[in-house]
Amino acid sequence: MNIDLGALKREKKSQLDLDFLLNLDTINYYGDEILLPNPFSVKGKLYIMNDKVFLTSDINTVMEVNCSRCLKPFTYQFSSKVNAELVNEELYEEEEDEDPGDIILYHNNIIDLAEIIKDNIFMNIPIQTLCDRDCKGICAKCGIDLNEEQCRCNLDKNEEEKVIDPRLAKLKELL
Ligand SMILES: [Zn+2]
Ligand SMILES: [Zn+2]
């Protein structure tokens, strides 16, 4: 999925509409293999303005992930955006006050779209995915899914606190 900028310029095209599906199958995320059975939909635009090249894209897919709290698999709606200036690596000079996040380098006048999209997906994969904002997770002691049932572990802890509390109350009386 390469775009030849030289050809675009020769054809005097200033805009290229992007609308395609990108299949990745899996992504290796710091040692964790994330399965990506569904393709990523990429919709956007590549445009040339005053000899500068810009890329905007919306990237969307649904992926199967495991909840970070209760570990149950669920379907996660992934969406991210690319909004960057594409700069020829050979001409690029780093300016200190520039936000490097908005610049993507290419070389030989060829833009490797798949690579850019892949990088963007990688950067936007959520570190923590929750099946529900209020997911209660699993009990660290007994491993029970706290969304489904309540275990005794926390109750016991509360009882311990109740035992301690009267003593503390007595202490306070002495002070
Ligand atoms: Zn959960
Ligand atoms: Zn428990």
Query: Over the stretch 10-26, which tens digit does the pLDDT of each residue have?
Result: 998 899 999 999 998 88
**What is the chain's alpha carbon radius of gyration, rounded to the nearest angstrom?**
26
Distance (angstroms) between ligand 1 centre and the Cα of 129 equals 8
Q: Note the pLDDT of residue 162.
A: 53
Distance (angstroms) between ligand 1 centre and the Cα of 66 equals 8
CA nearest neighbour of 122 among 80, 92, 91: 80
What is the average per-residue pLDDT within 42-55? 93
Query: Over the stretch 130-167, which tens digit does the pLDDT of each residue have?
Result: 999 999 999 989 999 999 999 888 665 555 555 555 55
Distance (angstroms) between ligand 2 centre and the Cα of 163 equals 20
Strands 32-36 and 25-29: antiparallel
Distance (angstroms) between ligand 2 centre and the Cα of 157 equals 10
Distance (angstroms) between ligand 1 centre and the Cα of 150 equals 15
Distance (angstroms) between ligand 1 centre and the Cα of 145 equals 9
Q: What is the Cα–Cα distance from 111 to 85, expressed in whole angstroms?
A: 12
Burial profile 101-136: b = 16 or more Cβ within 10 angstroms, e = fewer: eeebebeeeebebeebbbebbeeebeeebbbeeebe
Phi, psi of 55, rounded to the nearest 5 degrees: -130, 125
Distance (angstroms) between ligand 1 centre and the Cα of 35 equals 18
Tell me the pTM.
0.75
Distance (angstroms) between ligand 2 centre and the Cα of 41 equals 42
Query: Over the stretch 90-115, which tens digit does the pLDDT of each residue have?
Result: 888 777 666 656 899 999 899 999 99
Q: What angle is formed at CA 123 by the lines to CA 117 and CA 124, rounded to 5 degrees?
A: 90
Ligand nearest to the CA of 147: 1
Which residue ranges make up each domain of the chain?
2-124, 136-175
